[in-house]
Amino acid sequence: MRAGIMPWVGCGILLAPLAAMAEQATCRVPPATVGCTQAATLQRVGSLSSGRALIQMHCRRVDGTGNWQVLGHHGDAVLLRHLPIQKGEGALYFPAAVLHPVSGHLPSRPSGLLRLVMAGVGAVLLWPLLRYGWRLLRRRQAWRVCRRLVSRHADALRIRRRQLVQVNSYGVERTARWQREQTEFIRTIIKPALLDCRLQWAWPAIADRVLARIGNVASQKLSGEKAGQATGGYAPDMDPIGYERYCADRLRACGWDAHATPPGGDQGADVIATRGGKRLVVQCKLYRNAVGNEAVQQISAARLHYHADIAAVVSNADYTTSARQLARSNKVFLLHHDELPAFAARLARERKKA
């Protein structure tokens, strides 16, 4: 049952006995009693005796024959319908004091105690519904928080998925490392944000939905990446020399004068690129496993040999923890090849500021 309908169902449960009681109650009206179509009009009739005046006020005197069915009440007036029901004959309000019950009882104003009891019963029945609606709204808010965070880190998630999801020799994707990366993203980004908003309790209810959102976003193209640009000559099974040329092509597309060094005797630099007086040396690693310390050591030596300003390792794979530590201490950039355009743009901005 939908949440929006449930409160009305609760009200129906409360009002059903009263409605049934009203339908069963009947009474007699003394002859010559005045009845009006409006309760407010009945109070102004007073001692009017003119039939024309009564008609103008939509009132009339009844002959007292037959029974009248109780439909409801308004203050001290009771709304009655003549039995048997005649076509074109409407219901009238009569003073409650002059009526004589035949079956059931006439509706009356509930006493203060009864109103208090009814209010308490209504509160008891409606509180779970209100609480459910409030929690539903808060869960939706938690979902919006998670969705914004995934969108904010979309490119980083896409890069990490491309680094961590590798294809084995049989063409099957190995996703265990990517699944661990999703767990880390949730632990360090999603859950602290929910805790700050006091929405951490909602996580079990939205966990599957958030994981599906992360997987969907991470599988999309990088921001600004055009159709076909993600491959652009790259393939996981390409040879290392082809990968070096691919990285040089991406740098040239970003405005660098880049070329791959000849195989052998490259002194640790697979690509040398220059732009605006800056020289960049790159070590290219086409791996299926994480890149280790050796690549960082080689490019650090190549930077000294070629008198380069910037050193970077570019790979399709991830990097080991020790490689990241060594890279930080030696000021070496560790990149995925899809990060090259953003990396080149950042270097260009730094050159302009300098």
Q: Are the CB atoms for 184 and 124 separated by under 8 Å? A: no
Least trusted range by pLDDT, from 120-129, 203-212, 239-248, 255-264: 120-129
Q: Which of the 8 DSSP states describes residue 90?
A: P
Rounded to an integer, what distance in angstroms lies between the CA atom of residue 341 and that of residue 114? 75
CA-nearest of 55, 115, 68, 66 to 95 is 68
Per-residue pLDDT, averaged over 3-31, amounts to 56
Instruction: Report the distance separating Cα 249 and Cα 264, nearest Å.
Output: 20
What is the Cα–Cα distance from 11 to 8, expressed in whole angstroms? 5
Q: What is the pLDDT of residues 273-321, one digit of tens each?
A: 999 889 999 999 988 888 999 999 999 999 999 999 999 999 988 999 9
Is residue 58 left, alpha or beta, with left meaning phi > 0 and alpha meaning psi from -120 to 50? left
Per-residue pLDDT, 353:
66
Q: What percent of the chain has pLDDT over 70?
A: 85
Report pLDDT for 101: 84
| pTM exceeding 0.85 | no
- Does 156 have pLDDT greater than 50? yes
With 50 as the cut, is the pLDDT of residue 1 above it?
Answer: no
Question: CA angle 248-256-281, nearest 5°?
Answer: 60
Strand-strand pairing, 310-315 and 333-336: parallel
Comparing 164 with 209, which gets the higher pLDDT? Answer: 209
What whole-number distance in Å separates Cα of residue 17 and Cα of residue 198? 43
Mean per-residue pLDDT, 339-351? 84
Stronger pLDDT, 354 or 243, i.e. the higher one:
243
Task: Order the strands of the 59-61 sheet from edge to edge.
Answer: 59-61, 34-36, 92-95, 77-82, 68-74, 26-28, 100-103
CA distance 65 to 205: 65
Is the confidence at residue 109, as pLDDT, over 60? no
Note the pLDDT of residue 66. 85
pLDDT of residue 18: 43
Task: Give 188's DSSP letter.
Answer: I
What per-residue confidence (pLDDT) applies to 43?
Answer: 75
Q: Say if CB 248 and CB 277 are below 8 A apart.
A: no
The CA-atom distances, in angstroms, between 95 and each of 29, 44, 90, 108 are 10, 12, 17, 12
Greatest CA span in the chain, whole angstroms? 123
Helix (H) or strand (E) holding 305: helix 293-305
Tens digits of per-residue pLDDT, 40-73?
Answer: 888 777 666 677 778 888 888 888 888 889 888 8
Look up residue 34 and give its DSSP letter. Answer: E
Give the mean pLDDT of the chain. Answer: 83
